[in-house]
Amino acid sequence: MAFMTPTITSSKEYFMINHDACEIVACKYTTINLPMGEYTVDDEEPPVGGEEHRVWEEAKRVMELYSIDNFTITWQYGGKLEACGYLDQTDWYLGDTLSEVAEQLLESFYDQEDQYMDEEEKADKAWLESLLDNQN
């Protein structure tokens, strides 16, 4: 894991949670343009011409694009491990605060004893621990 380093978004961002595939997608890296909310294939079409109809059409497009029946758009901090210069990365971990995301990353990837970590891993763990009391 030493080549993988943690990263957490510096501010809250929009994420799509794909319930069918248990997948999280960062909206800023896609063409998804929807407000926070729950979207399902059963949502009824609103009257044509308003913002609600645009949102409904966009939700339908996303469901067709990802071949899914429901998803959620959320606005949270996101964190993951990634290998700089490579495509390797873990799934996203989401939280309402930096502290929540840091805690999830620590529990998932840094739960072994320090004696088994290299210096880079220890530095990454220390950085994540420094965020634990951060309520932003």
Question: Is 134 a residue whose pLDDT tops 70?
Answer: no
Q: With bands split at pLDDT 50, 70 and 90, how would you rate the model's confidence at 88?
A: confident
Question: Is 42 a residue whose pLDDT tops 80?
Answer: yes
Give the model's pLDDT for residue 87: 79
Give the model's pLDDT for residue 51: 92
Lookup: tokens for 96: 């309402």
Give the model's pLDDT for residue 64: 94
Higher pLDDT, 88 or 61: 61
Dihedral pair phi/psi, residue 71, rounded to 5°: -165, 165
Give the model's pLDDT for residue 11: 95
| Residue-wise pLDDT tens digits, 7-41 | 999 999 999 999 888 899 999 989 899 999 999 99
Q: What does the mean pLDDT of the chain come to?
A: 91
Give the model's pLDDT for residue 135: 65
Give the model's pLDDT for residue 19: 83
pLDDT (mean) for 79-101 = 92
How big, in percent rounded to 5, are the helix, strand and coil portions of the chain?
35, 25, 40
Query: Which whole-number Å values give the CA distances from 110 to 18, 71, 72, 117, 131, in the listed order?
Result: 26, 30, 29, 9, 14
